[in-house]
Structures are given as C-alpha cells and as structure tokens.
Structure 1
C-alpha cells in the first residue's frame, strides 16, 4: 500500500471488541483491513445516498418550476393510477 494516510479513529468498546474479534478469528489480517472494508461499504452507500439526494433536489426544482400548486381530488388521482396500472398489467400479458 504505497499511498495511505494514517488516521486515528475513536470507537465504542463494543466496536473495538468486534474489530479485535474479527482479527483474532483470522477473518482479517489486521484492524486496518477491517476498517478499510467498512470504509468501502460506507463509501458505496454514501455515493448512492448522494445520487438519491441529487435526484430529489432535481425533482423538487422541477416541481417548483412547473408553476403554482393546484388542488387535486386525491380519490380521482388514485382511481386514475389504478386504471393505468390495470391497463399496463393487461398490456403486459
């Protein structure tokens, strides 16, 4: 590992025990290996979360740009959605 940076991390005694147990069991060669795997998992989740947040912001902006809010009959909207779903299900067969 030519390009690494050492960082100090504080954790609960329970997490430290889990980390030590993972190394002592032979599943990992070192505590650093455990932390690197945890960081890879977290990094993937974080990137997905950032993408989802960006999509929500874009949808919010699109909604705001679409004009003022209008009243809607919720039951009518549900009925229309059910009809579209039924039609799509029928078409798929």
Structure 2
C-alpha cells in the first residue's frame, strides 16, 4: 500500500477581506480542513490495522515453524557450534571494518 501524498498547505484569509466573501471562504476552508482531518484519521486507522494484521500473521508463521522444529526428529546442530560460527562471522566483519 503506497502512502498517500501529503495535502497541500492551506492558508487562512485575513478577517477583513473586501466584498464580504471572507465568511464564505472561511467556511469553505473549515469544511476542507475537516475533510482532510477525517481522511487522515481513516488512513491512520487503516495503517494501524494493516500493521497489526501483518504482525499477527508473522506470529502465526513463527508458531508454525516452532511446532515443525519441535516435531522434527532430524539431528540438530549444537548450540556451541552455532555460537562459534556467529562469533567468527562478526569477528571477520569487525576486522574488515578496521575495528576490533
């Protein structure tokens, strides 16, 4: 879902506009502002709903993988071996970056 472009900046009119049209213009401005606020609130709610749904889907996938791993009877890799590999990997990255 692509983000919606920001609404243009609206400028209020001075209260002493000639010709008496300032009240009508001000009402139009207030209606437009209310519409933008409603639209923004709807987009915020939609984004929140989408984010929550994605998070719940990710948790469900993680639970499924966890259950598969629990029931998998294949031999695993020892924790010490995994930690040694990670330590070597990050040590190599640090050395390549010139920090130690």
Same fold? TM cut 0.5: no
Rg (Cα) greater in structure: 2
TM-score of the superposition, structure 2-length normalised? 0.41
The higher relative CO (CA closer than 8 Å, separation ≥ 6) is in 2
TM-score of the superposition, structure 1-length normalised? 0.43
